[in-house]
Amino acid sequence: MKVYKTKQIRNIALIGNAGSGKTTLAESILFEGGEIKRKGEVTAKNTVSDHNFIEQEYGNSVISTPMYVEYNGHKINIIDNPGMDDLCGSVVSSLNVTDLAVMVINATNGVESGTESAARHADAADIPMMFVFNQLDHDNSNFDKALDQCKNSFGNKVTVVQYPLDAGPGYSTIIDVLKMKMLKYKAEGGQPEISDIPADEMEKAESLNNELIEMAAENEEALMELYFEKGSLTEEEIFKGIKLGMLQRDLYPVLCVGSKKDIGIGRLLEFIINNAPAPDERPMRAITTGKELKMTESEQPSLFVYKTAVESHVGEITYFKVMSGKIVEGLDFINTKSDNKERLSQIYVSTGKTRTKVEELVAGDFGCTVKLKDTKYNQTLTTKEAGTKYELIKFPNSKHTIAIKAVNESDDEKVGEVLNKIKYEDPTYIIEYSKELKQLLVHGQGEYHLNILKWYFDNIYKIDVNYIQPKIPYRETITRPAQSDYRHKKQSGGAGQFGEVHMIIEPYEEGSEPRAAFKIGDKEYKLSIRDVQEHTLSWGGKLIFINSIVGGSIDARFLPAILKGIMEKMEEGPLTGSYARDIRVYVYDGKMHPVDSNEISFKLAGRNAFSKAFKSASPKILEPIYNLDVWVPSDRMGDVMSDLQGRRAMIMGMGSEKGLEKITAKVPQKEMFRYATSLSSITGGRGVFSMSYDRYEKVPAEIQDELLKAYEEEQDEE
């Protein structure tokens, strides 16, 4: 393959709703460019994209597929992406390294939930975007309706470059208002017959042409002056204006194709070559450390890894974008995350599962390599002298969490190994072992996303695993002061054990001061505060430990042991075994034995005295409360509100944002299990939400009773 210069390269990401025809469009592009000799079909499971077993079984894209086509002296790198928002990791990654988002619209369905979610990711990546209307040969295709939906959703930036003359089963003709020509295709597609626009379409075509020229002219003052002066622009000037508009995200061109019949494919590629930005025409990815590099061949070489995959018989494949300079086989790099050396022993370009060996790639191009030692996605390779590190791709927060457990305990280690491997292939899987909950948790983008993970365990790794609802990280605290004392005494021949501790506990609030007197029941206690220790707990809240001992009833050397015993019980609260927090403990009296007292005795005495006092101090269970923002279509607002109220949510506010209604609420974590699935069901996939931890609050009495009962039953079983 020839070495393409940066100006000859175009990098595009195919995005859009599942079922919009992205994979079929990619197949047609490869066929048009001569990269494949025969087109595959999704139903026949023989396309370049969707070549993995899971994609063939599910019937849709699950991971992104890099490919390329050589066309008219240019190289177009293409990444075909999944359409379901549960699989947005691939979309986000692709949009962060390409230079144009090609939004594929199913002309039968118009703007769908996947269209909206993909557009949100494109907005976040600040990438130019164009629309390609596909499936115009369907019975119910409606270009005008789909176009109106796009304009309603994305504004008047959506600008027609082409429209179909005969949408429907006989679709074969496109009116191109940029070239002001009619393109008529044969039944088998291919090269069109180009002719003048029919007289009965001329008024519409001229109106759209004027609109396109005006939109192009608005992107540069000089073009606007030329337009006012001449009343029109040359084709070259229009190209310039369109490119500027796309770069500024002020213009979203609309083109038409029929990907099954190869209608409009060549013209689409032509448009991308003429109007889409080359890699060096877009802002360079932000550099966090090291030397500033430019996307030119003359710079020191650097590359950014955007994807890691594992293939049987091959091992790990590392996909990258050349950010600067040129790379050749045998080049030595430094991984700027680990400072380890890496050598590019081989360089490939990829089309699906086919990799072609190349000797050189220049800035802006895409490639892949194998057998790197420890370089994963989101990492930079560069020279030691440059030390450049590119900004990380930021992936969306998780929306759904499940606990995973091997059916056979002997497979526990294997489960961990698989999860560790998969999280590098799909960084939107977040793996966490919760010491508190004693569960292995997988955080994902939704139920479908986690079902795909289960498929891998069942079909690829052959490990039986169960999904379990995650436990909630409750906390325990007290609501009033209480006193207790406990004597630990054990005699079994020889040295025994003896320790007695008297303590008072009370709720702790930030900023409050220790007290010198208490009345608990009918008894009054006066304390002398000698030392105050403040312990910030790793799970939130504080323990304040106060030495109020007078007269040497307990030697100071035993106080750390008493504190250790209390802390052990704080880590396994007396009510449900959850962490305890926000408690002030006064140790004010006790007894020792000159021979039998030791650290273990006072640790156990302190632990048991604390547990006894805790249960007498009107203990309460606290639950985590989250801030919740939900964006929903206006016609689903009532249903979403009703659902939230059923989840004990407290509605904090409502408003409008980006064409959707926004609900702000506070909701207990316990009630949010499977919320992603529920919201999707209520809103037809169009609702989105985000959550962030807020604080802990007391659970209602009836829920506390349920939790206490469940914990008792669990303890009885054990």
Mean per-residue pLDDT over the chain, rounded: 94
Give the pLDDT band (50/70/90) at residue 177. very high
Report which of 183, 351, 166, 155 is spatially closest to residue 263, judged by C-alpha positions: 183
Q: Which two tokens stand for residue 495?
A: 């040295």
Q: Please state, in angstroms and as integers, the Cα–Cα distance from residue 433 to each residue in 119, 172, 335, 473, following that order.
A: 34, 57, 28, 13
Question: What is the tens place of the pLDDT at every residue in 438-458?
Answer: 999 999 999 999 999 999 999
pLDDT at 718: 63
Residue 312: pLDDT over 80: no
Neighbours of 718 (CB within 10 A): 5
Q: Which residue has the higher pLDDT, 141 or 313?
A: 141
pLDDT at 544: 97
Distance CA 204, CA 165 (A): 11
Q: Is 614 helix (H, G, I), strand (E, B) or coil?
A: helix
Distance CA 124, CA 590 (A): 63
17: Cβ–Cβ under 8 A, 6 or more apart, which residues? 83, 106, 109, 112, 113, 114, 115, 118
Instruction: Report the sign of the C-alpha dihedral through residues 548, 552, 556, 560, in that order.
Output: negative
Q: Which residues of 672-688 are buried (b: 16+ CB within 10 A; e: fewer)?
A: bbebbebbbebbebbbb
- For residue 310, give the amino acid letter: V
pLDDT at 52: 83
Q: Which two tokens stand for residue 402?
A: 């499940």
Report helix angle 143-154 to 113-125, nearest 10. 40
Distance CA 7, CA 279 (A): 7
Lowest pLDDT segment from 69-83, 216-230, 417-431? 216-230
Question: What is the tens place of the pLDDT at every residue in 32-70?
Answer: 999 999 999 888 889 999 888 888 888 889 999 999 999
Lowest pLDDT segment from 475-489, 638-652, 702-716? 702-716
Distance CA 410, CA 681 (A): 38
Its CATH class, for the domain covering 287-390, is mainly beta
Distance CA 415, CA 405 (A): 8
Q: Do domains 6-209+249-281 and 621-703 have the same CATH topology?
A: no
Q: Which two tokens stand for residue 711?
A: 């914990």
Architecture of domain 400-468: 2-Layer Sandwich (3.30)
Residue 380: pLDDT over 80: yes
Q: Are strands 620-632 and 688-698 parallel, antiparallel or unpaired?
A: antiparallel
Distance CA 303, CA 86 (A): 28
Distance CA 228, CA 324 (A): 40
Give percent of the chain above pLDDT 90: 86
pLDDT at 188: 78
pLDDT at 713: 85
Distance CA 21, CA 261 (A): 12
Q: Which two tokens stand for residue 653?
A: 């506010």
Report which of 312, 513, 542, 540 is spatially closest to residue 421, judged by C-alpha positions: 312
Across 204-209, average pLDDT? 96
5, 297 contact by CB (below 8 A): yes
Residue 513: pLDDT over 90: yes
Q: Is 18 helix (H, G, I), strand (E, B) or coil?
A: coil
90, 393 contact by CB (below 8 A): no
Q: How far apart are the first and last CA of the chain?
A: 66
497, 489 contact by CB (below 8 A): yes
Question: What is the tens place of the pLDDT at every residue in 535-569?
Answer: 999 999 999 999 999 988 999 999 999 999 999 99
Q: Where are the beta strands (DSSP E) in 435-563?
A: 439-444, 465-468, 475-477, 482-490, 497-507, 517-520, 523-526, 531-536, 542-547
pLDDT at 308: 94
Distance CA 137, CA 187 (A): 11
Distance CA 280, CA 11 (A): 11
Distance CA 416, CA 429 (A): 13
106: Cβ–Cβ under 8 A, 6 or more apart, which residues? 16, 17, 19, 20, 21, 112, 134, 135, 146
186, 260 contact by CB (below 8 A): no
| Domain residue extents for the chain | 6-209+249-281, 287-390, 400-468, 476-611, 621-703
Distance of CA 585 to the CA centre of its chain: 43
pLDDT at 56: 86
Residue 378: pLDDT over 90: yes
417, 310 contact by CB (below 8 A): no
356: Cβ–Cβ under 8 A, 6 or more apart, which residues? 1, 348, 349, 350
Cα-Cα-Cα-Cα dihedral of 51, 57, 59, 64, to 10°?
-40
Give the CATH fold of the 621-703 domain: Alpha-Beta Plaits (3.30.70)
pLDDT at 471: 94
pLDDT at 376: 94
Distance CA 189, CA 100 (A): 25
pLDDT at 445: 95
pLDDT at 546: 97
Its pTM stands at 0.89
Cα-Cα-Cα-Cα dihedral of 21, 26, 32, 33, to 10°?
170
Give the pLDDT band (50/70/90) at residue 493. low
683, 640 contact by CB (below 8 A): yes
φ and ψ at 150, to 5 degrees?
A: -65, -45
Neighbours of 402 (CB within 10 A): 22
Distance CA 400, CA 113 (A): 18
Across 492-519, average pLDDT? 92
pLDDT at 313: 77
φ and ψ at 427, to 5 degrees?
A: -70, -5
Q: Which two tokens stand for residue 321?
A: 């974008």
Order of strands across the sheet that contains 315-324:
341-344, 331-335, 380-382, 302-311, 315-324, 366-370, 347-351, 354-358
Helix-then-strand count for the chain, H and E: 16, 40
Q: Which two tokens stand for residue 66?
A: 């890099």
Architecture of domain 476-611: 2-Layer Sandwich (3.30)
Give the pLDDT band (50/70/90) at residue 167. very high
Distance CA 595, CA 487 (A): 16
309, 303 contact by CB (below 8 A): no
Q: Is 560 helix (H, G, I), strand (E, B) or coil?
A: helix
Distance CA 162, CA 175 (A): 6
Strand partners, 476: 580, 621
pLDDT at 491: 79
Residue 224: pLDDT over 70: yes
Report helix angle 88-95 to 113-125, nearest 10. 40
Distance CA 16, CA 131 (A): 9
- For residue 524, give the amino acid letter: E
Residue 1: pLDDT over 80: no
Report helix angle 265-275 to 235-247, nearest 10. 80
pLDDT at 285: 96
Give the CATH fold of the 6-209+249-281 domain: Rossmann fold (3.40.50)
